Amino acid sequence: MSKLYLILAAAGLWFFLEGAIYAVAPDFMRRMAARLSEMSSRDVAFAGLASAVLGALLVVFAVRGI
């Protein structure tokens, strides 16, 4: 499997999971959005950075086959 196909599969899985959460638990997602709007910009940026680093590590591990 090429790296491009792996990245496309990961993006597809991400959209699938996010869509499934919205479909199954829309009220939960509304509450999470409300909490997000109450957080400081610094906290949101830190959470985004942590998520990006974790995602990048997972992609690197998947591409290398570890």
CA distance linking residue 35 with residue 19, whole number of Å: 19
**Residue 43 domain boundaries:** 3-64
Residues 6+ apart with CB under 8 A from 4: none
In this structure, what token pair is assigned to residue 46?
């830190």
What percent of the residues of the chain are helix, what percent strand, and what percent coil, each to the nearest 5? 90, 0, 10
- 58 pLDDT tier (thresholds 50, 70, 90): confident
pLDDT tens column, 5-37: 878 888 898 999 999 999 999 999 999 999 999
- Domains of the chain: total: 1
Mean pLDDT of the chain: 90
CB 63 within 8 A of CB 2: no
